[in-house]
């Protein structure tokens, strides 16, 4: 969960009462890879509203906040199929939930973000083991940059926890038809690639050439 010293969260970064800053993982992907380019503003806003609602609902289902769960009668009809897709995934997956909406800051890099879910899962190739898995839920279309985003959460958590075991990653695409589609990310270059994105982001931040720059580099806090 978010540490108590977090004071504020802006579009590009989060920072603490001591003045320390981290860049958002999603901001790095958005600015360096231009993941939102070409999307009409109205579609972008609708997607954000849907994604925020569904993520909050899943967090409640997972026991987040006050652990009272989700009142499904309050869910707007347009969002129900995405929760049915989540239910479909959850019921067929042998998973032990470790954390939901886990805020993670890398201990040595100025990056941070919120992982949707960390669970121990049984995978088909290793059915007798429970493997730590970072699960990300999306209500939009699949994209290659999702692999880099998840690698940032997983490797930041590994560094923070000094974890030496195996970590796997998957994105669960929740469909408007009530069906989930799962993509497992296995490329070992996802994390090195993300660290390259951080260097590119930092260079542009120093030069003042980020697209619509709205944040200061962490070292100027």
Sketch out the chain's domains with CATH numbers.
6-220 (3.40.1350.10)
Return the higher-pLDDT residue of 95 and 2.
95
What digits encode the pLDDT tens for the residues 101-151? Answer: 999 999 999 899 999 999 999 999 998 999 999 999 999 999 999 999 999
Q: Which of 202, 6, 12 is nearest to 103 (CA)?
A: 6
Q: Count CB-CB contacts under 10 A for residue 142.
A: 10
Q: Cβ distance 156 to 111 under 8 Å?
A: yes
Q: Which of 13, 14, 2 is nearest to 214 (CA)?
A: 13
Q: Is 93 exposed, middle or buried (0-12, 13-18, 19+ CB in 10 A)?
A: middle
Please report which confidence band the pLDDT of residue 217 belongs to, taking 50, 70 and 90 as the band edges: very low
Q: Cβ distance 161 to 107 under 8 Å?
A: no
Burial 57-85 (b: 16+ CB within 10 A, else e): bbbbbbebeeeeebeeeeeeeebebbbbb
Overall average pLDDT of the 18-46 stretch: 80
Please report which confidence band the pLDDT of residue 212 belongs to, taking 50, 70 and 90 as the band edges: low
pLDDT of residue 56: 93
């Amino acid at each position: 969960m978010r540490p108590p010293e977090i004071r504020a969260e802006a579009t590009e970064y989060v920072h603490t009462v001591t003045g320390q800053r981290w860049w958002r993982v999603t901001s790095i992907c958005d600015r360096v890879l231009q993941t939102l380019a070409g999307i009409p503003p109205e579609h972008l806003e609708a997607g954000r509203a849907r994604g925020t609602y569904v993520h909050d609902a899943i967090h409640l289902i997972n026991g987040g906040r006050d652990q009272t769960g989700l009142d499904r009668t309050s869910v707007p009809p347009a969002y129900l199929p995405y929760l049915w897709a989540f239910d479909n995934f959850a019921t067929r997956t042998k998973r032990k939930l470790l954390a939901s909406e886990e805020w993670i800051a890398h201990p040595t890099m100025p990056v941070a973000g919120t992982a949707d879910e960390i669970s121990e899962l049984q995978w088909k190739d290793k059915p007798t083991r429970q493997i730590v898995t970072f699960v990300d839920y999306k209500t939009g279309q699949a994209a290659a940059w999702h692999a880099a985003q998840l690698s940032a959460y997983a490797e930041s958590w590994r560094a923070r926890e000094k974890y030496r075991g195996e970590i796997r990653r998957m994105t669960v695409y929740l469909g408007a038809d009530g069906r989930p589609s799962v993509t497992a990310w296995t490329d070992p270059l996802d994390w090195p690639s993300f660290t390259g994105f951080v260097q590119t982001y930092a260079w542009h931040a120093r030069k003042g050439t980020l697209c619509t720059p709205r944040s200061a580099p962490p070292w100027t806090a």
